[in-house]
């Protein structure tokens, strides 16, 4: 029996979100041995249990209060919510934050020779998809009725197999569509992974652990999006240098030993530094320009 006092987090066992989910928890300092093919993994250094399941099961586990937190694609979450609402329920959960991974779009795609002029063209066609509710919500805005062919995998082969006229499926690069003779005609939903929490109030201990975890997740994601920039620059052009740097409101300026007219500048930037900007900095007289990754941040 699982210990109810430990925080339960559901994540995808294997698939497109599992590596990033695992990495995020590890970077937050949670020590888990996920090597074994086990459904449940126990953290060694914190009262946390990880449940490893199919991504489709994660929203339901959180909504039903079986687990405390879940990491899942917004597409899967939203589809589950719409499904439960269609059944007359009122699913409840809290979104804690959007992640910086799992980005994809749910798109309608048609055979390359399909003459597409707008959503109205799809009237009464058969559309193969795993996301019937998201598709219906989108097309109902245009009063377009359609027939569904519900598939849980290999959606992209449906038109070639004669199962459907067009498809509605997840796309990231578009290479799978291309390989199956399809073209993207309409983006209906943009998704990323997100962290959700069950609605019911937590015990004070669990809530404190969630708050701590959220601060760490924030620190990890913010650090991934930031860079530490160091350079040497002539004091006379410092204003111009600072103007070129993204988010350089408060750079640290340090003296350089034996140099009267040059200083060192250190700063955390919310963006990476492009080669073009580095070339401009150099042209202004900057030197020793270093752009370093940041591992962790806490503000
Ligand atoms: P499971 O076995 O857990 O049910 P799955 O086959 O349903 O896995 P994956 O293909 O691993 O799911 O995708 C999981 C999630 O990753 C998607 O729901 C989506 O949020 C995200 N994702 C990111 N890029 C893509 C992509 N190119 N195609 C599909 N999903 C993507
Ligand atoms: Mg799935």
List, for residues 248-297, the tens digit of each pLDDT value: 678 999 999 999 999 999 999 888 788 999 999 999 999 999 999 999 88
The predicted model gives 62-74 an average pLDDT of 98
pLDDT of residue 248: 67
Q: Judge whether residue 239 has pLDDT over 60.
A: yes
User: What is the average pLDDT value for the chain, to the nearest integer?
Assistant: 95
pLDDT band at 110 (very low <50, low <70, confident <90, very high): very high
Ligand 1 atom closest to 130 (CA): 7
**Cα(46)–Cα(20) distance, rounded to whole angstroms?**
20
Burial (0-12, 13-18, 19+ Cβ within 10 Å), 203? exposed
Hey, how many other C-beta atoms are within 10 angstroms of the C-beta on 77? 24
Domains and CATH numbers, the chain: 7-100+193-223 (3.40.190.10), 104-191 (3.40.190.10), 226-293 (3.30.70.120)
- What is the bridge-based pairing of β-strands 40-42 and 93-98? unpaired
Q: Which helix (H) or strand (E) holds 277?
A: helix 275-283
Instruction: Please tell me whether the interface predicted TM-score (ipTM) of this complex is above 0.90.
Output: yes
* Substitution site in 21, 55, 58 for ligand 1 pocket (most atoms within 8 Å of beta carbon): 55
Give how far Cα 16 sits from Cα of 27, 31, 189, 193, Å. 18, 21, 18, 10
Ligand 1 atom closest to 173 (CA): 27
- % of the chain at pLDDT higher than 70: 98
Ligand nearest to the CA of 18: 1
**Cα(26)–Cα(182) distance, rounded to whole angstroms?**
39
Task: Spell out which residues line ligand 1, taking CB within 6 angstroms.
Answer: 12, 15-17, 54-56, 73, 75-76, 102, 104, 170, 172, 191
Q: Any idea which residue has 């199919």 for tokens?
A: 54
**Cα(264)–Cα(69) distance, rounded to whole angstroms?**
45
pTM: 0.91
Residues forming beta bridges with residue 183, ordered by sequence position: 110
Residue with the bigger pLDDT between 296 and 167: it is 167
State the distance from the centre of ligand 2 to the C-alpha of 40, rounded, in angstroms. 18
The predicted model gives 72-78 an average pLDDT of 98
Give the DSSP per-residue string, 203-271.
PHHHHHHHHHHHHHHHHHHHHHH-EEEEEEEEGGGHHHHHHHSTT-SS-EEEE-TT-SSEEEEEEEESS
Closest C-alpha among 194, 161, 173 to residue 12: 194
How is residue 57 annotated by DSSP? G
Q: Any idea which residue has 């946390």 for tokens?
A: 48
pLDDT of residue 49: 96
pLDDT of residue 1: 56
Residues forming beta bridges with residue 126, ordered by sequence position: 147
Q: What is the pLDDT of residues 171-215, one digit of tens each?
A: 999 999 999 999 999 999 999 999 999 999 999 999 999 999 999
The predicted model gives 1-10 an average pLDDT of 86
| C-alpha dihedral (11, 14, 19, 23), degrees to nearest 10 | 40
Ligand nearest to the CA of 194: 1
pLDDT of residue 149: 98
**Cα(110)–Cα(165) distance, rounded to whole angstroms?**
7
pLDDT of residue 36: 66
């Amino acid at each position: 029996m699982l210990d109810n006092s430990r925080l339960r987090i559901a994540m995808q066992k294997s698939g497109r979100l599992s590596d990033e989910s695992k990495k995020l928890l590890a970077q937050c300092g949670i020590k888990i041995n996920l090597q074994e093919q086990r459904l449940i993994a126990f953290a060694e250094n914190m009262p946390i249990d990880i449940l490893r399941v199919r991504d489709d099961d994660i929203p339901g586990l959180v909504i039903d209060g079986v687990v405390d937190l879940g990491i899942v694609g917004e597409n899967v979450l939203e589809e589950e919510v719409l499904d439960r609402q269609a059944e007359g329920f009122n699913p409840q959960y809290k979104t804690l934050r959007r992640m910086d991974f799992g980005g994809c779009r749910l798109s309608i795609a048609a055979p390359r020779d399909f003459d597409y002029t707008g959503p109205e063209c799809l009237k009464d066609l058969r559309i193969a998809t795993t996301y019937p509710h998201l598709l219906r919500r989108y097309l109902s805005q245009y009063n377009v009725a359609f027939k569904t062919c519900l598939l849980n995998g290999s959606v992209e082969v449906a038109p070639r197999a004669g199962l459907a006229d067009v498809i509605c499926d997840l796309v990231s690069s578009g290479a799978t569509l291309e390989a199956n003779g399809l073209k993207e005609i309409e983006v209906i939903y943009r998704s990323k992974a997100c962290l959700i929490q069950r609605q019911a109030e937590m015990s004070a201990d669990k809530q404190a652990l969630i708050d701590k975890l959220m601060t760490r997740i924030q620190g990890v994601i913010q650090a991934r999006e930031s860079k530490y920039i160091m350079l040497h620059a002539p004091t006379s052009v410092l204003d111009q240098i600072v103007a070129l740097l993204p988010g350089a409101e408060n750079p640290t300026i340090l003296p350089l030993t034996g140099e009267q007219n040059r200083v060192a500048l250190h700063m955390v930037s919310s963006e990476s530094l492009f080669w073009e900007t580095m070339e401009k900095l150099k042209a202004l007289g900057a030197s020793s320009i270093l752009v370093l990754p940041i591992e962790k941040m806490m503000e």
